[in-house]
Amino acid sequence: MKSNLTSTKLRSVPYCLAFLCAFTPSAIAGSYDDLSRWAEGNKASARQYLTDLSRAPGAHEVALAIKARDQHERDSTRTLIEIVQRHPELRYLPELGLDGDAFRRWAQQHPEAAARRGTIPKDAFAIAQDMRLYLPQLLKSSLAAQAIPRLSQYLNDPAVATAKREHQAALKADERRMMELFH
């Protein structure tokens, strides 16, 4: 009887492990799926912004494209904050939410971060690297070659100028939030 009970316990171990793995969020492989989805969403939004700009027949539509991009970036910032709160090790990966200048300021303010960055898993670094390389590639695309002149054409329009100013103000506010988040 004792060996039968032991045999039953051993057979149930894989089921228990499968159950535990299914409900252990960030300790198992794929723990950065949320970060990956966030990054892909940002890339898609950047492409959509350029598409909207390139197709805009006038200043009104350019202003709408800027406002849509602004809203996406606000939502994206909120999502990134949630992700970093779930994965505290990402606090030392500020390039996810900071541009180059802000990243340099952050690095100067946090000299201890270099050592701590070594503890960040490689898959999180790969996602950040992919994000960092994507925008320059996108800006060299034919889509950007169509969109940027369209934006430039309407920069002096009052609606576009207002949307651009509001967007810049939101970016500054988000930068402050990101500087506080990454520590």
What are the residue ranges spanned by the domains of the chain?
32-181
Residue 165 vs residues 25, 139, 173: alpha-carbon distances, Å: 40, 21, 12
Q: Does 20 score more than 70 pLDDT?
A: no
Q: How confident is the model over 70-78, as a mean pLDDT? A: 93
Higher pLDDT, residue 25 or 54: 54
pTM of the model: 0.78
Q: Does 30 score more than 80 pLDDT?
A: no
Q: How confident is the model over 137-149, as a mean pLDDT? A: 95
- Calculate the average pLDDT of the chain: 84
**Interior/surface letters 22-52, b for 16+ CB within 10 angstroms, e for the rest:** eeeeeeeeebbebbeebbeebbebbeebbeb
CB 93 within 8 A of CB 122: no
Q: How confident is the model at residue 23 (pLDDT cuts 50, 70, 90)?
A: very low
Q: Does 29 score more than 50 pLDDT?
A: no
The 3-state DSSP class for residue 27 equals coil
